[in-house]
Chain A
Amino acid sequence: MSLSETELLNAYRRMKTIREFEERLHVEIQTGEIPGFTHLYAGQEAVAVGICTDLTDEDYIVSTHRGHGHCIAKGCDVPGMMKEIYGRQDGLCHGKGGSMHIADVERGMLGANAIVGGGPPLAVGAAIACRNRRNGRVSVAFGGDGSCNQGTVFEALNLAVVLKVPAIFVFENNGYSEHTGVDYAVGSHDIAARAAAFGMPAEHCDGSDFFSVHAAMARALAHCRAGGGPYAIEAHTTRFYGHFEGDPQLYRAKDEVRRQRETMDCLKRFRAVAGEHGIALAALDAIDADVLKEIDAAVSAAKAAPPPAESALLTDVYVSY
């Protein structure tokens, strides 16, 4: 499926928004104003956006502890996200969730998840809902390379095949789970092959290339919408920062990130081929400037926003009790 100029510009805008959001958080976290601990998605933008570009609000995604990119790609309100990360009353989850629990069900975003492997079974459930509604919608489970070693993920992969539901398992292989390299932790070294062994089509794609991810996702969507059951994609990517903010990254070669910022930056790579897709660099420059302003405004608004009232502590445990 080839994308229109507007769609391509939107995709670039989302990737740039994620990048700027995360680069800015990296700076703001140093001030100590942001509570808790934060996992940045910078470096992986092409995966979230390549996967979500053709999704609608009726399609579902489940996310991970590294969820900011998935949220933005799925259309979550950016100022609302920023406020949530600052723990503010009118954050997307009223300050109760924080960075690792941003959710926006109206956008089909069923939540970031701080339990590694917690998401894929949820995605299978949402895929059952999609199948039963027969509306051509799909459910996407994002997970890292580390998550593929969790029993819950194995169970979800098999269940999706058994039930033949439109679930798409996206494994973002960024080379590390916390401080452990993927070649150590994933015994077979091939996550897509592992998914395939459960009985679904699975493919690798270049996670720093929006077009590569988008093409893989187009095949996945066609397969799911034709009633073919689940599909898996392993996207090879990298993270530009530590596992969480404050990680000294002793496990990583000294100049690894610097090199990867040169060769694996999805924004640079998008720009490099923009002309072939009829996109003028000036249009991208204009987006860059816009996004900078938006993120600036989101940070200022979040800083100025009021915290939740103490009474909110006791609400929302149940619908009724």
Chain B
Amino acid sequence: MAQKSMRDAINDALHLEMARDPRVIVLGEDVSGGAGGTSGEREASGGIFGITKGLLPKFGADRVIDTPISESAIIGAAAGAALAGLRPVAELMFADFVGVSLDQIFNQMAKFRYMFGGKTTCPAVVRLAMGAGMNMGAQHSQTIYPMLASVPGLKVVIPSNAYDAKGLMLTALRDDDPVMFFEHKALYPRKGEVPDGDYTIPFGQAALVREGEHVTVVALARMVAFAEKAVDAVAKDGITCDLIDPRTVSPLDADTILESVENTGRLVVVDESPPRCSIAADIAAIVASRGFRSLRAPIQIVTAPHTPVPFARELERAYVPSPGRIEQAIRQVFKE
């Protein structure tokens, strides 16, 4: 099987689906780049992160649309195009820019189906590049998925590796609801085995990354690889863990987590977002209420602190949950 980066895996999915389904369009700032430039190069970037590379030459400017800097209009146009029968993929570039376009996401696309009595669909995908670790500062580093996961009507997808990213993207593109597709910037270059062909991964189905019997660890996106390190480290001392990657947080595969906690009695949830109203807090609450009798120790959550993302290397390193902190939390719940 081919080794591909998560960047190429998502790009693959877009190529496949655009070739298969003429209703799919891509829009956003510099999704091809070069429009109005002086070099004549009409694909000057293929997206700031290179995710939409090669789409313009293949599918043309009607379907690969460079926009001005107008996030409200980009997301709103995607919502409108979806109502009118297209299947748009809007690139928001940095997830932080959701702030500029929030109305179109949470008052518009999220609510159409319900408000209109189930008479319509809004099959739009919004791609959001997220995450700290690259010293991009407070307005370019956030993981704001908890905010969107709290909105009924939106589906929220958070892949942790290249293989999942492609399969989940193909599912997103074929899903009839609005999908917020979060891509951790630090994972873009990370390679994994990715088949060339078409495959999908269903939403609401967690992946069991490691199997064990003492502690259940749940982690998302970049935190999955960090948790793997922690889980492997404690394994040397005979502590074995189930490591669960939910892959989508709306819908959330709570059953897999609850079943695991039934066996282990101990839970650590890792989330790069700040702790309040986070996915970590959400999963902890679900297990505390539905799995209370299985628990043999207080649940531990490992999150970023309740602060914006700092710029300086030393501060950002302290901000992001580390394998060391996850390991500590596992040892803590194991002891109790």
Contacts and interface: CB of A to CB of B under 8 A. Distances in A.
A96 B312 contact: yes
A80 interface: no
Contact of A308 (B48, B71, B308, B315): B315
A252 B39 contact: yes
Interface string A117-152: 110000000000000000000000000001101111
A251 B69 contact: no
B139 A254 contact: no
Interface string A170-188: 0000011111111111110
B135 A151 contact: no
A150 B69 contact: yes
Nearest to A116: B69
Given A151-B73, A185-B35, A313-B318, A179 B44 contact: yes
B136 interface: yes
B318 A115 contact: no
Contacts of B315: 87, 95-96, 307-308, 310, 312-313
Interface stretch (B11-19, B78-86, B93-101, B158-166): B93-101
Nearest to A113: B139
Interface stretch (A97-105, A157-165, A273-281): A97-105
Contact of B36 (A35, A115, A149, A181): A181
Contact of B318 (A150, A251, A310): A310
Name, among B68, B73, B311, B318, the residue most crowded by chain A CB atoms within 10 Å (CB to CB): B311
A252 B134 contact: no
Contacts of B99: 115
A250 interface: yes
Contacts of B44: 179, 250-251
Contact of B136 (A37, A150, A152, A176): A37
Contact of B310 (A147, A182, A313): A313
A262 interface: no
B55 to A, nearest CB: 15
Given A150-B100, A177-B68, A317-B307, A307 B313 contact: yes
Nearest to B315: A313
Interface in B293-336: 305-308, 310-316, 318-319
Nearest to B43: A250
A314 interface: yes
Contacts of A88: 312
Interface in B50-89: 66, 68-73
A93 B138 CA distance: 12
B34 interface: yes
Contacts of A183: 36
Given A150-B69, A185-B68, A87 B313 contact: yes
A283 B311 CA distance: 39
Nearest to A147: B69
**Chain B interface: which size bin?**
35 or more
A227 interface: no
Given A116-B69, A313-B315, A98 B34 contact: no
B37 interface: yes
Nearest to B137: A98
A180 B37 contact: yes
B34 A96 contact: no
B256 interface: no
B41 A251 contact: yes
A252 B38 contact: yes
Contacts of A95: 310-312, 314-315
B75 to A, nearest CB: 11
B72 A313 contact: no
B30 interface: yes
A114 interface: yes
B136 A184 contact: no
B96 A115 contact: yes
Given A179-B37, A314-B305, A149 B68 contact: yes
Nearest to B41: A250
Name, among B34, B39, B68, the residue most crowded by chain A CB atoms within 10 Å (CB to CB): B68
A253 B36 CA distance: 11
Name, among B37, B139, B318, the residue most crowded by chain A CB atoms within 10 Å (CB to CB): B37
Interface of A: 35-37, 87-88, 93, 95-101, 113-118, 146-147, 149-152, 175-187, 250-254, 256, 307-308, 310, 312-314, 317
Given A87-B311, A179-B33, A180-B30, 15 more contacts: A87-B135, A96-B311, A96-B312, A115-B139, A118-B139, A146-B69, A149-B69, A151-B72, A178-B48, A187-B68, A251-B34, A251-B39, A310-B314, A310-B315, A317-B308
Interface of B: 29-30, 33-41, 44-45, 48, 66, 68-73, 96-97, 99-100, 134-140, 305-308, 310-316, 318-319
* Leading 3 A-B pairs by shortest Cβ distance: A181-B36, A184-B36, A251-B37
